[in-house]
Structure 1
Amino acid sequence: MTNTTDEHLRELASAIGEQLAAKRLTLCTAESCTGGWIAKTVTDIAGSSAWFDCGLAAYSYEAKQGLLGVRPETLEHFGAVSRETVIEMVSGALVHSGAGVAVAVTGIAGPGGGTEDKPVGTVWIAWKRRGGYPRAELFHFDGDRESVRRQTVAAALEGIAQHL
């Protein structure tokens, strides 16, 4: 398991902020299962207003459609926790913000909601730069709801750093 301590998350967010500021880019988050935790982590860093544009917490199907432009057909055919949905989320975050970089997360944090095909701990994360192609990755995290969400935040932040 990745280091998910508060201190590690702060260190990741701070490093991302330095990278974004150096490249004159801003970040947007599109979050489902983390409910804004990624945005909270990056805005805990003093001076983040220089490199953080906005965070969208889109939990329901309606919010994913209205705020991020996820197509109803995508949700109907693939479900909220899918590669297709997270790619539409990350792309929609860039369309609906002024940011140059976006991250999107959708998953099943538990304790309920899991299925045989998509057990608790199943999380999709996508990253995209404006004008670029999205990259999506599937994760299977262990632990309780808090642990799954915390691991998702860490993986999302680590992915942003790699994507820059």
Structure 2
Amino acid sequence: MEYKVPAQTRIGHVHLKVSDIDKSLAFYRDLLGFEVIQRYGAQAVFISAGGYHHHIGLNTWHSRNAPPAPQNAPGLYHTAILYPTRKDLAIILKRLIAARYPLTGMSDHGVSEAIYLDDPDGNGVELYWDKPKEQWPLDGAGNLQMVTARLNVESLLAEATA
């Protein structure tokens, strides 16, 4: 019998090699709003949402002052940060726009709405929220049909003030 990972399994955290802890904290803490849980001197920091031990680890153990990894090489494509509501996604989009932070894309995937950007080290970041499961697009056989369509930015931003 083929083994299947238990349905309750979750991705616990991501640990990123960064070139500069302070630049990374300016992005993840100051812009995105994660809180610092623990520092390991000037070489590493653990950050989280809601007091969890850490959702993201940032370290310079092998990468201090290094250039970004090549885009066309194996490695992490992006870290996806799941927001609990559409309004939360709208609020962070509004913050990014106010900060004039460069975005690399925005999409409606049918199952979710997503904003894409890069952190200071060129690591891809997806900020998204999942639509209710009953709204997910299915084909005639009941199979999930994710898409990449234009995100209705105006409708999303209207959520920030709703």
The two structures have a TM-score, normalised by structure 1, of 0.28
More helix by share: 1
The two structures have a TM-score, normalised by structure 2, of 0.28
Structure with greater Cα Rg? 2
More strand by share: 2
